[in-house]
Amino acid sequence: MSLQTEEKAPTMETNKGLNLKATELRLGLPGSESPERNNSEEKDGKSGYSHLVTSGAKRVFSDTINGGSGKWVFSGNAGSDGEVAQNGALFSPRGGAKILGGGGAESNIVKESVVSVPEKKKDQAAPHAAKTQVVGWPPIRSFRKNSMAINPPKNDSDAEEKLNSGCLYVKVSMDGAPYLRKVDLKTYSSYFELSSGLEKMFSCFTIGQCTSHGATARDGLSESRLVDLLHGSEYVLTYEDKDGDWMLVGDVPWNMFTETCKRMRIMKSCDATGLAPRAMEKCRNRN
């Protein structure tokens, strides 16, 4: 599947005990907004689109991503109120729909697709984060998206930072999985995030099944088992670089990795012997 990796990630709460307040996802009832969210938007100063955000609370309800890096704002539909997930945690874009049950002809569904924002992005000085992204929106073909990523629109002093705009899709395959996935490397800023994202994406292959509503990902037990699988003896994460060589992920600095990674493969450890030494060699040769 070529869905955005974290698009449906439950919340960052599942990540290992880091400060998650900044990136906590909330879903408010129609017309309400949590004060905290509003504050962080103002503080952020990144009001690029905030004047465009719908403010007609009586007609629509909207949700923005905490931490201010979310630019895509989703509005529910005008008119009737809808029921939303009571626990407030958004774990899938269809959470609302399921709770309402079938046949809700008059019901108002919130379509929320959110990306979990890497927690470092609160820091203004850091290169800007990936924006909240919905798969396939705005509807621009990959060729154009990738071209724009390489040729930043403005040649000003921020060109360096702006080089990070756009998407960088690479295919990820897993030994034994029936199909490939695609991830956008630009939405991660570290190996840790990449690894978490991949764990969530491929968890259902290793676990064997998905239980309903993303419970798989929220279920600490299955996650930690997958962590063991990926970090332990069963699987390793490898990538093919620009030269066509297969390397172990994690050996080079993150930025270098995103620049050279063409595709990734989650291999069984037993198949991955002999990779590590070559990776180190290459590093040495490069420097």
Partner 1 sequence: MDPSTKLTKEIEVLKQVLPLITSHKDRNSVSQVCKDFYHVERCSRTKVFIGNCYAVSPEMVARRFPNIRSVTLKGKPRFADFNLVPENWGADVHSWLVVFAEFYPFLEELRLKRMTVSDASLEFLATSFTEFRALSLSSCDGFSTDGLEAIATHCKALTELDIQENDIDDVSGDWLSCFPEDFASLEVLNFSSLNTDVSFDVLEDLVCRCKSLRVLKVNKNISLEQLQRLLVWTPQLIELGTGSFNQELVPRQFQMLESAFDNCKNLSTISGLWEATSQNLAALYPVSARLSFLNLSYANLQSSALAELLAHCSNLRRLWVLDTVEDKGLEAVGSCCPFLEELRVFPAGPFDQDMDYGVTESGLVAVSNGCRRLKYVLYFCMQMTNDAVATVVQNCPDFTHFRLCIMNPSQPDYLTNEPMDEAFGAVVKNCTNLERLSLSGLLTDLTFEYIGKYAKKLEILSVAFAGSSDLGMQQVLEGCPMLRKLEIRDCPFGDAALLSGLDKYESMRSLWMSTCNLTMTGCKELAKERPRLNVEVIKDEETDEETDKVYVYRSLAGPRSDAPPFVVSL
Site string for partner 1, 37-76 (x = CB under 8 A): ---------x-xx-xxxxxx--xx--------x-xxxxxx
Give me the least distance between CB of 141 and partner 1, in Å please: 5
The residue within the footprint of partner 1, chosen from 18, 140, 159, 163 (CB under 8 A), is 140
Residue appearing with tokens 């000085």:
125
**Residue 218 near partner 1 by CB under 8 A:** no
Of 98-106, 188-196, 248-256, 274-282, the segment contacting partner 1 by CB under 8 A is: 98-106
Name residues contacting partner 1, limited to 190-209 (CB under 8 A).
201, 204
Q: At what angle do helices 191-207 and 220-231 cross, to 10 degrees?
A: 110
Are 195 and 16 in contact by the 8 Å Cβ rule? The answer is no
Q: What is the DSSP letter of 92?
A: S
**Residue 136 near partner 1 by CB under 8 A:** yes
Give me the least distance between CB of 108 and partner 1, in Å please: 7
> How distant is the alpha carbon of residue 103 from its chain centre?
31
Name residues contacting partner 1, limited to 166-195 (CB under 8 A).
166-167, 169, 171, 178-182
Residue appearing with tokens 């034994």:
176
Return the number of the residue (213 or 225) whose C-beta is nearest partner 1. 213
Of 17-25, 99-107, 221-229, 271-279, the segment contacting partner 1 by CB under 8 A is: 99-107
Question: Which tokens is 5 given?
Answer: 């990796």
CB count, 10 Å around CB of 97? 16
Residue appearing with tokens 């199909």:
179
**Residue 103 near partner 1 by CB under 8 A:** yes
**Residue 122 near partner 1 by CB under 8 A:** no
The residue within the footprint of partner 1, chosen from 20, 89, 134, 207 (CB under 8 A), is 134
CB count, 10 Å around CB of 200? 21
**Residue 211 near partner 1 by CB under 8 A:** yes
Residue 19: burial class (beta carbons within 10 Å; 0-12, 13-18, 19+): exposed
Name residues contacting partner 1, limited to 241-270 (CB under 8 A).
none
Rounded CA separation 25/55 (Å): 19
